[in-house]
Chain A
Amino acid sequence: MSTTPIKFYQVGSFAVGNRLLSADDRSIQSDPDRTNALTSGHRACQGCGEALGARYALDAAMRATNEKIIAVNATGCLEVFSTPYPESSWRIAWLHSLFGNAPAVATGVAAALKAQGKSDIRVIGQGGDGATVDIGFGALSGMFERNDDVLYICYDNEAYMNTGVQRSGATPPAARTATTQAVGENPGNVFGQGKNLPRIAMAHEIPYVATATVADLRDLEAKVTKAMSFRGARYIHVLVPCPLGWGSASCDTIKIARLATQSGLFPVFEAEHGEVVASTAIRHRVDVEEYLKLQVRYSHLFSPKRRDDVITHLQSIADKNIARYNLISDESASS
């Protein structure tokens, strides 16, 4: 079903670049000749999911295009921590313009390349969830609708982390942010709001839409590689835990991302031309509580008074995802 033929299910062997594999099967990141598109020395927090996701995604894109990438970045953590003048962590051609216009700027780059006959150079737009689902949403929809030759990657940490953890249109229900505080009768973010951008992208019937997390970086590499095999507008939505904003331990970033998928809260799937073509089955299903309890942003669901009503509500969202994307396959059910 999924794009990655090789899975590392055993606890402790999620590491990429397994030396037991043949060279061709190893991860892109394990290649000593990888680009290091986002190289070391930047100012991201310890355990930053976004830095990890961006590095893997762009190194994969570089390999897939014979190192011919121009990246356009929205304002946000990724931009701020990577380019404090006069330093830059980018070893690729990189442009930052504004918060809300990265998809349109990427369109401009693609148009310029086409007009100059440089079709071998490919374009990536990237931003956080605020830039993607909120302030840059119109520009992103326009880019999709025109089917411009751009891969747009959203690194979703489910709030405006760069400005101090305010709610975005991607903040999940019940989560505490600086603007959805854990106070009152219904603490945290409200239910029934928020945008499901992968599905909105699919509604544009663009060639390729995929979701991924930093818990399965080989899968992310594979999806970026696959995305570069298409022309036209493509969208990858990557869940990237934020230790600062989520109130989680820096060492738990991968674990939390994995629990998001194994609970069903974050379905991992691929779609082509508006139809789901593959989903990654849940291997070891867990209750959402396992995911929630590692994060201070949900601590109000457990103390001072346990909120079973809210936890049940969140579980129902995960259950719905599992049914919608067929995340419990016969194989995983029997394992």
Chain B
Amino acid sequence: MLRQVEGSKAVADTVAACRPQVICAYPISPQTHIVEGLSQLVKNGELQNCEFINVESEFAAMSVAIGASATGARTYTATASQGLLYMVEAVFNASGLGLPIVMTVANRAIGAPINIWNDHSDSMSQRDSGWIQIYAETNQEAADLHVQAFRIAEELSLPVMVCMDGFILTHAYERVDVAEQEQVDQFLPPYAPRQILDPSNPVSIGAMVGPEAFTEVKYMAHMKTLSALAVIPKVAKDFEIIFGRSSGGLIRRHKTLGAQTIVIALGSVLGTIKDVIDEMVAADIAIGVLGIIAFRPFPTTEVREALSQAKRVIVLEKAFQVGVGGIVIDNVREALRGTNTAAYTVIAGLGGRPITKQSLRSYFDKAVNDQVEELTFLDLDKDLADAELAREAGR
């Protein structure tokens, strides 16, 4: 049903339609509105056969989710930023145990300095956690990806992180076609766990594995995660058949055909980038956009194919590896292996700094002529930062 709704509310209502049986919640901005919405739905009886657990920390949130999922319940939680980092040990444990938990990450910066606004530092820090990561561009996609996330998670018996930009999406009111219960029921069958804690058929889950088998266990996890590259597009296709709209998948192209320059990004900033690209294309500049929806596993083959005709690639990232540079670019370079395609990184939007069309246009205009550094911090007040560095060095 089409509604003018806050992103968090659209996600909460969509998650509720997925009939989760256990939801655990610990407050952290900008994720809070999602679990507040779900708490209300459970309390007023709209979401039945569901336990809503108010836990004492994010570490407990993920731990409750682990216990619930291992006992055969469809399980959901949401977090962001410091909260995601606080639960990290359990995040890795959930994937190691192969538990199909779905978690929303309302992307937010990581301190210090403390900062509540959006960037991708939180979920990017978990790129090696063994979770599938999918990034939403719009609130419509954020809502839709949650329905798909449960399907993907349960089909693979792997946890899925749905990443949506904090505030930019979570707190934005816009038109969303919120999934109907009948459609969700048609799309998402009841959870049939591969393994379950059951006294009538007891199993030991979480044994200690030594050097003689650990590599095999990790290799199997790698192969299983890679198989998501086939499952994610299939689920997106099924979704389109039932819901009549396209959401999700591995990557999304916009005007990449014949583009000499291709900009790569994740999440909501793709909207702003497309606006700029459309203006540039109208001015006969051969530039296009490649949105990455599935970042883990990384769709190397699809990205390679999408970039095959490009002369240069610009990767816009909302997080970076301190002392190294971009994160996404590392994966893109793998896709570009053996080509002469130039690749530039632009770090933008850290800690919620607005990414304006004007700044993007200015940067892209230089980049299409290869007049940018390999690594650029967009809208950086370099004089100020350099002066401070010089002052500290002289102390």
Which A residues fall within an 8 A CB radius of B?
Answer: 67-70, 72-73, 79-80, 83-88, 90-98, 100-101, 104-117, 121, 138-139, 141-142, 145-146
Contacts and interface: CB of A to CB of B under 8 A. Distances in A.
Interface in B241-283: none
Contacts of A72: 67
Interface stretch (B45-53, B355-363, B383-391): B45-53
18 contacts: A79-B206, A85-B207, A93-B199, A94-B197, A94-B202, A94-B206, A101-B60, A104-B64, A105-B63, A105-B70, A107-B63, A108-B22, A111-B67, A115-B73, A116-B71, A116-B72, A141-B56, A142-B56
A100 B59 contact: yes
A246 B85 CA distance: 37
B65 interface: yes
Interface stretch (B134-142, B162-170, B180-188, B208-216): B208-216
B66 interface: yes
Interface string B66-94: 11111111010000000000000110010
A72 B66 CA distance: 11
A73 B53 CA distance: 21
Contacts of A146: 53-54
Given A109-B71, A111-B53, A112-B68, A96 B199 contact: no
A68 B213 CA distance: 32
A94 to B, nearest CB: 5
Q: Which label, helix, strand, loop or mixed, suits the secondary structure of the A interface?
A: mixed
Given A94-B205, A98-B90, A142-B60, A112 B199 contact: no
B56 A139 contact: yes
A84 B207 contact: yes
B90 A112 contact: no
A88 B64 contact: no
A101 B63 contact: yes
Given A94-B203, A105-B63, 4 more contacts: A84-B207, A86-B213, A109-B71, A121-B199
Contacts of A80: 208
Contacts of B226: none
B199 A85 contact: no
Contacts of A100: 59, 89
B210 A111 contact: no
Contacts of A85: 207-210, 213
Contacts of A145: 56
B286 interface: no
B283 to A, nearest CB: 56
Contacts of B63: 97-98, 101, 104-105, 107-108, 139
- Ranked 6 nearest A-B pairs via Cβ: A108-B67, A96-B206, A142-B56, A112-B73, A104-B63, A101-B63
User: B49, B55, B56, B204 — which one has the most chain A CB atoms within 10 A of its CB?
Assistant: B204
A70 B197 contact: yes
Given A85-B213, A108-B24, A111-B73, A97 B90 contact: yes
A88 B207 contact: yes
B57 interface: yes
Nearest to A73: B206
Contact of A112 (B72, B89, B97, B204): B72
A289 to B, nearest CB: 40
Contacts of B198: 70, 93
Contacts of B90: 97-98, 101
Given A80-B208, A88-B207, A142-B57, A115 B65 contact: no
A113 to B, nearest CB: 6
A79 B51 CA distance: 28
B55 A111 contact: no
Contacts of B21: 112, 115-116
B202 A93 contact: yes
Most buried by A among B67, B197, B199, B203: B67
A109 B202 contact: no
A112 B59 contact: no
Nearest to A94: B204
Residue of A88, A95, A111, A117 with highest tally of chain B CB at under 10 A:
A111
A109 B197 contact: yes
A68 B90 CA distance: 27
Contact of B202 (A92, A107, A117, A142): A92
A95 B57 contact: no
A148 to B, nearest CB: 8
Contact of B199 (A84, A92, A117): A92
A90 B204 contact: yes
Contacts of B53: 107-108, 111, 146
A142 B198 CA distance: 25
A95 B56 contact: no
Given A114-B51, A115-B73, A121-B199, A83 B207 contact: yes
Contact of A108 (B50, B66, B93, B210): B66
Nearest to B22: A111
Contacts of B213: 85-86
A89 to B, nearest CB: 8
Nearest to A102: B63
B71 to A, nearest CB: 4
